[in-house]
Structure 1
Amino acid sequence: MKAVIPAAGRGTRLFPQTHTKPKPMVRVAGKPILGHILDGVVDSPIDEVVVVVGVMRDHVVEYVTAEYSDDLDVAFAEQETTEGLGHCIYQTREYVGDESMCILLGDMLFETDLGAFLDAHDALGDVDGSIGVKRVDEPSNYGIVTMDGDRIAGLVEKPADPPSNLAISGVYVVEDSAGLFDALGALIENDVRGAGDEYQLTDGLQRMLDAGATFGTFEVRDWYDCGRPETLLEANRVLLESAGSTDGGVADSSVLIPPVDVGEGALIEHSVVGPYVSIDDGARIEDSRVKDSIVGRGSQLRDVNLAGTLVGSGSEVTGTPSRLNVGDSSEIHL
């Protein structure tokens, strides 16, 4: 089995953080979102990964090659135009072939380890694939599953009138990969676009169901869509709580309230930091109070009181704000 990770999206919901880096490279709890996903693959039975790159591809290729090529057999497929998740997955057909695959969306994090999802898939028996699902309060925002007993009866992407509240949670196991590629290819060749005027993976899976494929589901209890600032901060809290505090920097005459992740070469002076703060390498915080925030690489904070804030890399914030979303290489004085 191969893991397939779509990492080609722009991530407009995370602007301004994604003006200068692709969405999977936004940092949370000490490393990029993509790093947390790949850590899960390393700890699973899967040792081959296909990462789909597109927007600002060099960020992804350089990071994955440097950090994971010793542990995983990594290949990179390219999505030259952003035309939906189905189109993205279709770009991996030459790398996956007819092998089974596990699709892990590049902006989703899970508390459950990948091995447990694979075990749940195996327990379903003779199926062509399975999808992780969870009941949600606002199903029109998600791909939705309807069931017939213990098998999937239908799939629809972001319906205006949802037939159920059982949402697709961003992890898929596909045994019949060739069948999925045929279905996605038919959508693209016939220009059959779905929600958002894009080629949707959900529509390709539905096409497989229409042709007689069988799909089951497994439960995903805790998952975090890191494509929005509020859920990114929520994931930061959960991951820091799980991992505990790390301190690669210097806290001079300061108080750190765990859990806090402090990167290498970071400097904290005359400040109170935490809980739930992730500080990237080389950042500097002076005379400030920071909690429930993510501070980017090489950024500088002085005389601020921040909570629920994202500060991009290489930024400078001074003054007395309480909540911000600051992109890379910005300078703000208040």
Structure 2
Amino acid sequence: MKALVLAGGTGTRLRPLTHSSAKQLVPIANRPVLFHVLRDVADADIKEVGVVVGGTADEIRAAVAADDSVNLDITYIPQGEPLGLAHAVLTARDFLGDDDFVMYLGDNYLRGGITDLVADFRRARPAAQLLLAREDDPAGFGVAELDAAGRVRGLEEKPAAPKGDHVVVGVYVFTPAVHEAVRAIVPSWRGELEITHALQWLIDQGADVRSTTHAGYWKDTGNVADLLDANRVALESVEPLVAGDVDAATELVGRVRIAAGAVVRGSRIVGPVVVGADTVITGCRVGPYTAIAERCHVEDSEIESSIVLPGSSITGVGRIEASLIGRHVEVTPAAPATHRLVLGDHCKVQLSP
């Protein structure tokens, strides 16, 4: 079995952050979302992985090459334009050959991984096995209609009146039967080849399409709120470790992980919190649910429930909460009753009155 990981999207909902960076490399608990996906693939005992890439291909290649924990046989598959999930399958046809494969969206975060899904598929080997999750408000998702045995009888994309509460998570397992399906369908109103249409084609042809319901946490990390929520969940399982230099005037409470090379002075850190290598924290209150990446500088500030990307500095700021701070950002206090802003396109800013 192979894996096909999709990392070619543009990340419009995370702009302006993704104007200059791949959305799949935004970190959760100081590890890129893509690396959580690759770990799940490895845990399912899959070694050959095709990564579909677009305009951020060089950045993704460099990040994967620089991380020793990624021990997989990876082939990069260029996709000229992101024209739908079924189009990604067409693009990867030569890599996939006639092997069964998992298709996994590279910006999804699953707690518990995909081993149960892959095991269910291997036992019965249907034409397709979908990972589903139950949602209280399924109308904003792809919704699967199931029979009593858990087989998929129909799929609807964001229906006004959902026929159930099982929504499609961004992980699928296919036999080579899917290749005929993706060739048979036509673009949707969005101009894309939809994988839900290919699955519906299989169902209409009488193919066996089954499902596995994911009981754990799942999040599509395509916007800031969901990314921060996934970060919170990932941090709940962090193992405490102090490998950096922490002075006696610092108080560490709960699950706190300080990487080698980090320096912490006169601060209070309440976990769960992770601090990256070569980051310096002085006179701060940090956490809970905060991930500060490598090479950051945080001084005389308070930050909670936030993600700070590499190389950024925060100095003299009273309180930051529920924020996503990009790479090489400088945050400093303004003069009283004034705001001095330099903002890129599509920014969203909240200011005190």
Structure 2 counterpart of 1:214, one-letter code: D
Question: Which consecutive unaligned segments of at least 5 residues does structure 2 have?
Answer: 240-255
Superposed displacement of residue 166, structure 1: 1.3
Structure 2 distance, partners of 1:293, 1:70, is 26
Structure 1 counterpart of 2:221, one-letter code: C
Q: Larger radius of gyration, structure 1 or 2?
A: 2
* 1:307 corresponding residue in structure 2: 321
* 1:81 corresponding residue in structure 2: 81
* 1:117 corresponding residue in structure 2: 117
CA deviation vs aligned residue, 1:162-181 (integer Å, no higher than 9, x gap): 3322100111111x22x212
* 1:183 corresponding residue in structure 2: 181
* 2:252 corresponding residue in structure 1: none
- Structure 2 vs 1, CA of residues 110 and 195 (structure 1 numbering), >3 Å: closer, same or farther? farther
Q: Is the 8 A contact 1:157 1:203 kept in 2?
A: no
Superposed displacement of residue 256, structure 1: 1.1
CA deviation vs aligned residue, 1:179-215 (integer Å, no higher than 9, x gap): 212221233xxxx222633211111111111122111
Structure 2 distance, partners of 1:275, 1:69, is 27
Structure 2 distance, partners of 1:198, 1:53, is 17
Q: Is the 8 A contact 2:35 2:70 kept in 1?
A: no
Q: Which has the higher contact order (CA 8 A, sep 6+)?
A: 1
Instruction: Please identify which structure carries the higher helix content.
Output: 1
Which runs of structure 2 are paired with 1:159-198 in the superposition (5 Å)?
A: 159-174=159-174, 176-177=175-176, 179-187=177-185, 192-194=186-188, 196-198=190-192
- Please tell me the root mean square deviation across aligned C-alpha atoms, in Å: 2.3
Q: Is the 8 A contact 2:38 2:70 kept in 1?
A: no
Structure 1 distance, partners of 2:83, 2:187, is 9
State the TM-score, normalized to the length of structure 1.
0.90
* 2:16 corresponding residue in structure 1: 16
State the TM-score, normalized to the length of structure 2.
0.85
Structure 2 distance, partners of 1:12, 1:110, is 22
- 1:228 paired to 2:223: yes
Which runs of structure 2 are paired with 1:229-308 in the superposition (5 Å)?
A: 229-244=224-239, 245-248=256-259, 249-304=262-317, 305-308=319-322
Structure 2 distance, partners of 1:139, 1:89, is 26
Q: Is the 8 A contact 1:109 1:235 kept in 2?
A: yes
Structure 1 distance, partners of 2:189, 2:293, is 37
Secondary structure of 2:24's counterpart equals: helix
* 1:28 corresponding residue in structure 2: 28
* 2:193 corresponding residue in structure 1: 199
Q: Is the 8 A contact 1:146 1:166 kept in 2?
A: yes
How many percent of aligned residue pairs carry the same amino acid?
35
* 1:42 corresponding residue in structure 2: 42
- Structure 2 vs 1, CA of residues 76 and 301 (structure 1 numbering), >3 Å: closer, same or farther? same
Structure 1 distance, partners of 2:196, 2:134, is 17
Question: Which consecutive unaligned segments of at least 5 residues does structure 1 have?
Answer: none
